[in-house]
Amino acid sequence: MRDEFLIFGKPDIGPEEIAEVVDSLEQGWIGTGPKVHRFEEMLGEYLGVSHVRCVSSCTAALFLGLICLGVGPGDEVLVPAMTFVASANSVEHVGATPILVDSVPGTGVMDLDLAEALIGPRTRAIMPVHLAGRPVDLDRLNEIRDRHGLLVIEDAAHAIGAEWRGRKVGSTGNVAAFSFYATKNVTTAEGGALAADDPRIAERVEHLALHGLSLGAWQRFSDSGYKHYDASEPGFKFNMTDLNAALGIHQLPRLDPGIEYRAELWSRYDRLLEPLPLETPPPASNEMRHARHLYQVLVGPESAVERDELLSLMTSSKIGVGVHYRAVHLHPYYRDKYDLDPAAFPVATDISNRTLSLPLGTNISEADQDDVVEALRTHLVTRIGVGA
Ligand SMILES: Cc1ncc(COP(=O)(O)O)c(C=O)c1O
């Protein structure tokens, strides 16, 4: 048994991030300022997208992105059933209707054939989710977009650094939202960004993220003198602060080596878990670069241990684990509002019941990983006598 609890998704914060935050504190510019701007430039360059705006969360980026695309009441948006509720919530918040789409078995990503079959006269947009860091087929997605004249807003909360046929997620002509929440591959504690090729979308996002004001605080209070601002529409308070961006500007350069390290742990999990009654994630295809955000196993149907029981057993062994996700249609709000039957989403329902995410990250060592595998083996062997 480990001495210390292995925290799931513990952020990997280095001395550069700490020094940068201290620098902001000492300088006194702790709100939205030059570091946010610098992080936006770095993201644009990394993603190969001409305009990026940082906001307070990916949820805010999805919400503002939908507003800027003109999605609203009367519109339908195709959203995967297998996602975090924030994806569907953003659609609800703009007054549109999320139409849930079942998953591809194994990978859990939105089934694009099913999505296309659900397109009707009110369908306005598609919100694919690059689940666990695995990009959806962006060629197929964009072909559906163009054939049906739809808008696409990619929920890339898990997928900064993921690529489809050599092109980064978020760089194929769609609006894309990223998350820098504490557990993500790049973290700013809380934060998000919207990437867009259209400068008008980026400018409106910036504007709406700070009360709808014509000038951000940084511009108003700079040393070139006070300037008045105009409020041209009622905006929100979704701006990122320099304290958050201070983390991001040192996290981003470590993303690519981090994905490589995660990929090594990933293959090691695949190998070590093979004898256990678990389904490991399908391999990444040659067309993609997987961002390796979440390593999810499915508790095998032959196992006598239910997933929920295994969750408690792992916690009692001092191993933090996660569930990504309980599908949207299983949450009371969506189930009741849209009268959704779990049987209509058989793949997402099955994943919801059996999925378990294991610790994966740049601060997870092989020894930590051995502890995870040992704990799984102990619980599975003890409970069902699997000779692994
Ligand atoms: C798929 C997905 N979309 C959206 C979000 C929302 O991200 P944030 O917490 O930055 O708002 C998350 C958060 O984990 C997520 O997993």
Q: Read off the pLDDT of residues 118-141 as tens digits, 9 standing for 90 and up.
A: 999 999 999 999 999 999 999 999
The pick from 66, 100, 181, 183 for probing ligand 1's pocket by mutation, whose C-beta has the most ligand atoms within 8 angstroms, reads 181
DSSP state of 211: T
Asked whether residue 9 is domain-assigned, the answer is no
Q: Residue 43: which CATH number?
A: 3.40.640.10
Q: 238 alpha carbon to ligand 1 midpoint, in Å?
A: 15
The domain boundary residue, chosen from 223, 254, 285: 254
Q: Could you tell me if residue 1 is inside a domain?
A: no
Q: Are residues 132 and 228 in the same domain?
A: yes
- Distance set, CA 17 to CA 54, 79, 248 (Å): 18, 35, 8
Mean pLDDT over 12-17 rounds to 98
Say if residue 89 is in the same domain as residue 31: yes
Residue 267 burial (CB count, 10 A): 10
**Residue 87 CB less than 6 A away from ligand 1:** yes
The token pair that represents 369 in the structure block: 């990983």
Q: What is the pLDDT of residues 257-282, one digit of tens each?
A: 999 999 999 999 999 999 999 999 99
Q: Using pLDDT thresholds of 50, 70 and 90, give the confidence band for residue 217.
A: low
> pLDDT at position 228, please?
83
Which CATH number do you get for residue 339? 3.90.1150.10
Last residue of a domain, one of 194, 222, 254: 254
Residues 87 and 195 occupy one common structural domain: yes
Using the predicted structure, report yes or no on whether residue 220 has a pLDDT greater than 80. Answer: no
Catalytic residue (choose from 35, 168, 184, 237): 184
**Mean pLDDT calculated for residue range 229-237:** 91
345 lines ligand 1 (CB under 6 A): no
- 347 found inside a domain: yes
Asked which of 254, 275, 292 is the last residue of a domain, the reply is 254
**In this predicted model, what pLDDT tens digit does every residue of 56-115 receive, in sequence order?**
999 999 999 999 999 999 999 999 999 999 999 999 999 999 999 999 999 999 999 999
Dist. CA 32–CA 217, nearest whole Å:
7
Cβ–ligand 1 contact at 83 (below 6 Å):
yes
* Residue that has been written with the tokens 């083996």 in this structure: 377
Residue 363 lies in a domain: yes
In a domain, 323, yes or no: yes
168 is catalytic: no
Provide the token pair at 158.
């898990």
Q: Are 233 and 355 in the same domain?
A: no
Percent of the chain with pLDDT over 90: 90
Please give the Cα distance from 332 to 302 (Å, whole number).
29
Ligand 1 center–CA 192 separation, angstroms: 9
Angle at 90 between CA 84 and CA 95, to 5 degrees: 140
Say if ligand 1 is within 6 A of residue 185 CB: no
Judging by DSSP bridges, how do beta strands 278-279 and 295-299 pair with one another?
Answer: antiparallel
CB 357 less than 6 A from any atom of ligand 1 = no
Are 22 and 71 in a shared domain?
A: yes
What average pLDDT does this structure show over 213-237?
77
Tens-place pLDDT, residues 137-161: 999 999 999 999 999 999 999 999 9
Residues 205 and 263 occupy one common structural domain: no
On whether both 205 and 347 belong to a single domain, the answer is no
Cα(155) to centroid of ligand 1, in Å?
8
> Same domain for 152 and 189?
yes
pLDDT given at position 383: 56
What is d(CA 349, CA 343) in angstroms, rounded to the nearest whole number?
A: 8
Task: Based on the fold, state whether residues 235 and 366 are members of the same structural domain.
Answer: no
Residue 2 resides in a domain = no
Q: Which domain holds residue 77?
A: 15-254
234 and 303 both lie in a single domain: no
Considering the domain boundaries, does residue 96 fall inside one?
Answer: yes
**pTM score:** 0.96
Residues 327 and 360 in one domain: yes
Q: How many domains does the chain have?
A: 2
356 with 263, same domain: the answer is yes
Tens digits of per-residue pLDDT, 277-330?
A: 999 999 999 999 999 999 999 998 777 789 999 999 999 999 999 999 999 999
Structure tokens at 360: 């994966």
Does 3 reside within a domain? Answer: no
User: SS3 sequence, 133-197?
Assistant: HCCCCHHHHHHHHHHHCCEEEEECCCCCCCEECCEECCCCCCEEEEECCCCCCCCCCCCEEEEEC
Residue 52 CA to ligand 1 centre (angstroms): 18
